[in-house]
């Protein structure tokens, strides 16, 4: 019984989403990817023909090659006509559902897709005719009547201002019509006449590839016991349903975690506004929230926030993923792993290139993941962050080497908690968020003044010997000297950008 698999994937997603420094266009680009991989395809197939959707790609199954090709034709035509600038790849794979496992068919489908990507021809477009105005952002011809926007920019803006945007993010909003997400970076918050930061949070699930491989291997063993066409067809049908259920459950875990984090943050806003730690942003009775989900595709999450709540937001979100994930995934056959994630937070000034900010956030998340023990039983959540002081910086490894004394001047990354398999000696080698918050709280409680902390930070920068000399000179060994160099430096650097940390010792 022949079946045909079809895959749709948006290529170069990061470039497409983050190439603009306008939040509305970043939002619009994220909406467009969702439209192409999730919404448009469903106009040309039945619910039963959906294999799975997630992470900027989707797979479908048809009972004939003719149907599959017709499906690809309609989806590609609508995507190209409606959304200029986006790069979409599609591939097909035929298999016999009574003689072959769908596991092998999916592997061949991905192989076909990769071959298409590897032989992609250079894309060309009219960049201008000498008499055309070019967009300041993309250097592409401006579309008449779009206020200086190229076709790609205009499509992104249109998607961001449409009903599609509200429907895509509605389930992530607190259940109160008084709240809306920001559409521009300046709407995230900031306080007049103070140095403001934007928090760019990149979050990724731990060992997701290994978890899906474990799930696949559990079924592969069952395929070894198949002897008849009826058994093969039945197991293929079961696997497709199970895989789709797993993908949808993981998507649900992360979206619920984001929603619950937003709910918890909303519960703290009044206190932040009252203490003037954030500036309230109301428009026509609607409160614009100081956080904005940008990407929520499976375990791939990107959130932008007012910089002062980015660390707290990340801490809450990681905890929510852990508790919600463990509950929802507990009963899925062949998938008994704890749900953990790592986060990278780039804290940037408003003028900083957004594409580079997101790259840095992803580098930080990747660095956090490198701290995970090899033992799967020791899985945990880890967080890394960096505060950009204004200039465009190099890679994270270059930053840590040149500005942080090859990481000796920082205790980052931070574990939410030590892995349960760690002994006392292992625990001494890592740092937790509680240690960072306790250090911030202690330095605040010491009430030594901003000038002293600034001087101490400079001493920390100059090395261990300079640090000890400063402490002896100022007679502050008991007040400041009980924290190791890297932890103290991180605490001073982050103390105004970690809401709630100053009350950690209470």
Is pLDDT at 126 greater than 60 in this prediction?
Answer: no
The answer to whether the peptide bond before residue 365 is cis (omega within 30 degrees of 0) is no
Question: Both 177 and 146 in a single domain?
Answer: no
Question: Both 310 and 218 in a single domain?
Answer: yes
Question: Both 100 and 21 in a single domain?
Answer: yes
Question: Both 344 and 486 in a single domain?
Answer: no
Task: Map residue 458 onto helix, strand or coil.
Answer: helix
Q: Within a domain: residue 126?
A: no
204 is in which domain, residue-wise? 173-393
Q: Within a domain: residue 435?
A: yes
pLDDT value for 504:
63
Question: Both 336 and 445 in a single domain?
Answer: no
Question: Both 179 and 153 in a single domain?
Answer: no
pLDDT value for 223:
96
pLDDT value for 173:
92
* Arithmetic mean of pLDDT, 243-265: 93
Q: What is the pLDDT of residues 9-30, one digit of tens each?
A: 998 898 899 988 999 999 999 9
Q: What percent of the chain has pLDDT over 70?
A: 91
Domain count, the chain: 3
* Arithmetic mean of pLDDT, 285-314: 93
pLDDT value for 124:
42
Domain stop point among 378, 393, 408: 393
Q: Within a domain: residue 37?
A: yes
Residue 295: which CATH number? 3.30.70
Question: Both 327 and 450 in a single domain?
Answer: no
Cα within 13 Å of Cα(482), Cβ side: 9
pLDDT value for 123:
45
Contact 355, 19 (CB under 8 A): yes
Is pLDDT at 336 greater than 70 in this prediction?
Answer: no
For residue 61, CA distances in Å to 64, 96, 245, 358 come to 9, 12, 16, 35
Question: Both 158 and 178 in a single domain?
Answer: no
Q: How confident is the model at residue 1 (pLDDT cuts 50, 70, 90)?
A: confident
Q: Within a domain: residue 188?
A: yes
Q: Within a domain: residue 310?
A: yes
Question: Both 274 and 191 in a single domain?
Answer: yes
For the chain, give the number of residues.
506
CB count within 10 Å of CB 164 equals 17
* Arithmetic mean of pLDDT, 244-262: 93
Question: Both 179 and 162 in a single domain?
Answer: no
* Arithmetic mean of pLDDT, 296-307: 91
Q: Within a domain: residue 413?
A: no
Residue 48: which CATH number? 3.30.70.270
Question: Both 443 and 480 in a single domain?
Answer: yes
Q: What is the pLDDT of residues 38-91, one digit of tens each?
A: 999 999 999 999 999 987 889 999 999 999 999 999 999 999 999 998 999 999
Of 123 and 407, more confident: 407
Q: Within a domain: residue 403?
A: no
Name the range with the highest mean pLDDT among 153-157, 272-276, 479-483: 153-157
* Arithmetic mean of pLDDT, 150-162: 92
Is pLDDT at 140 greater than 70 in this prediction?
Answer: no
Q: How far apart are alpha carbons 124 and 119 in whole angstroms?
A: 15
Q: List the one residue out of 397, 302, 292 whose CA is nearest residue 341.
A: 302
* Arithmetic mean of pLDDT, 289-295: 94
Task: Map residue 88 onto helix, strand or coil.
Answer: strand
Question: Both 359 and 214 in a single domain?
Answer: yes
Q: Within a domain: residue 379?
A: yes
């Amino acid at each position: 019984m022949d079946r045909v698999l079809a895959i749709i994937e948006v290529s170069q997603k990061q470039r497409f989403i983050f190439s603009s420094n306008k939040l509305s266009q970043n939002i619009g680009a994220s909406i467009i990817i969702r439209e192409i991989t999730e919404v448009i395809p469903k106009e040309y197939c039945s619910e039963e023909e959906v294999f799975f959707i997630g992470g900027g790609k989707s797979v479908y199954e048809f009972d004939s090659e003719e149907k599959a090709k017709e499906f690809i034709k309609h989806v590609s035509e609508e995507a190209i006509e409606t959304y200029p600038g986006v790069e979409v790849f599609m591939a097909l794979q035929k298999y016999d559902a009574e003689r072959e496992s769908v596991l092998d068919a999916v592997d061949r489908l991905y192989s076909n897709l990769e071959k298409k990507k590897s032989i992609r021809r250079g894309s060309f477009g009219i960049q201008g005719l000498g008499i055309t105005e070019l967009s300041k952002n993309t250097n592409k011809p401006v579309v008449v009547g779009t206020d200086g926007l190229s076709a790609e920019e205009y499509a992104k803006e249109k998607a961001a201002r449409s009903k599609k945007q509200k429907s895509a993010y509605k389930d992530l909003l607190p259940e109160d019509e008084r709240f809306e997400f920001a559409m521009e970076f300046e709407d995230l918050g900031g306080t007049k006449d103070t140095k403001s930061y934007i928090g760019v949070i990149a979050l990724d699930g731990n060992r997701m590839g290994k978890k899906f491989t474990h799930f696949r291997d559990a079924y592969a063993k069952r395929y070894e016991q198949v002897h008849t066409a009826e058994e093969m067809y039945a197991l293929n049908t079961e696997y497709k349903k199970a895989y789709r259920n797993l993908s949808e459950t993981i998507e649900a875990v992360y979206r619920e975690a984001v929603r619950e984090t937003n709910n918890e943050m909303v519960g703290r806003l009044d206190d932040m506004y009252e203490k003037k730690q954030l500036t309230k942003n109301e428009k026509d009775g609607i409160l614009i929230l100081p956080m904005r989900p940008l990407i929520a595709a499976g375990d791939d999450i990107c959130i932008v926030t007012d910089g002062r709540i980015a660390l707290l937001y990340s801490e809450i979100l990681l905890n929510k993923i852990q508790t919600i994930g463990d509950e929802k995934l507990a009963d899925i056959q062949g998938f008994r792993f704890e749900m953990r994630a790592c986060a990278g937070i780039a804290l940037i000034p408003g003028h900083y290139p957004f594409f580079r900010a997101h790259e840095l956030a992803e580098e930080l998340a990747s660095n956090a993941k490198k701290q995970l023990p090899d033992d799967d039983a020791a899985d945990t959540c880890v967080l890394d962050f960096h505060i950009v002081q204004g200039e465009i910086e190099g890679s994270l490894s270059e930053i840590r080497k040149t500005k942080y004394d090859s990481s000796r001047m920082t205790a980052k990354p931070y574990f939410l908690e030590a892995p349960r398999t760690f002994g006392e000696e292992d625990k001494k080698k890592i740092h937790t968020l509680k240690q960072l918050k306790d250090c911030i709280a202690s330095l605040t409680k010491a009430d030594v003044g901003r000038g002293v902390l600034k001087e101490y930070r400079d001493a920390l920068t100059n090395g261990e010997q300079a640090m000890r000399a400063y402490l002896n000179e100022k007679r502050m060994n008991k007040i400041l000297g009980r924290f190791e160099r890297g932890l103290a430096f991180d605490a001073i650097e982050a103390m105004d950008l970690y809401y709630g940390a100053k009350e950690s010792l209470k």
